[in-house]
Amino acid sequence: MHLAELNVGRLLAPTDDPRVAEFMDALDLVNGLGKRMPGFVWMMEGSGEPGTGNTENPIGDDPQFVANLTVWESVETLENFVWNTVHKKFYDRRKEWFEVLGKMHFVMWWVEEGHRPTLDEALDRLDHLRAHGNSDRAFGWDGIAEAHHWKTKACA
């Protein structure tokens, strides 16, 4: 089995606004690094235009809601990318570019090798986590025993 993850955020401004320019300018760097990491399997893509990342896959009618959907070989390989690379610097600064969401916006779940989840499937998993908490169907960092780095490296 592989590990799928969805991370949802709402940008403070449209993608072409100077207030989020530094984030948008770093997408290709951070996503490119992720794709080269040991254990990376797949990432939901947008148009492929430089500097757009996955921001062309909005959620609902609000183009400022953006999603990152990836698949990894294991929780350890995802953790390594999230907490031990340049990604962590951008994670630490997320309040500069994203609204603080009042509800859970990150979910993980196991998928069969070769499966590429859709955004609708991922959003369904997120809804399940919000409604039922950690389960075999959907879980957060605190719902998977193999995850360790989030305990010391995540922001409050």
pLDDT tens for 103-116 read 889 999 999 999 99
Q: What range defines the domain where residue 78 resides? A: 2-153
Question: Has residue 53 got a pLDDT over 70?
Answer: no
Tally of structural domains, the chain: 1
* CATH, residue 33: 3.30.70.100
Q: What is the pLDDT of residues 65-116, one digit of tens each?
A: 888 999 999 999 999 999 999 999 998 999 999 998 878 899 999 999 999 9
Residue identified by tokens 């989020």 is: 20
Beta bridge partners of 68: 7
Mean pLDDT value across residues 136-149: 85
Q: What pLDDT is recorded for position 3? A: 97
Query: Which range (31-40, 66-75, 138-147) has the least confidence?
Result: 138-147
pTM reported for the whole predicted model: 0.89
Q: 139 Cβ partners below 8 Å, 6+ apart?
A: 107, 108, 109, 129
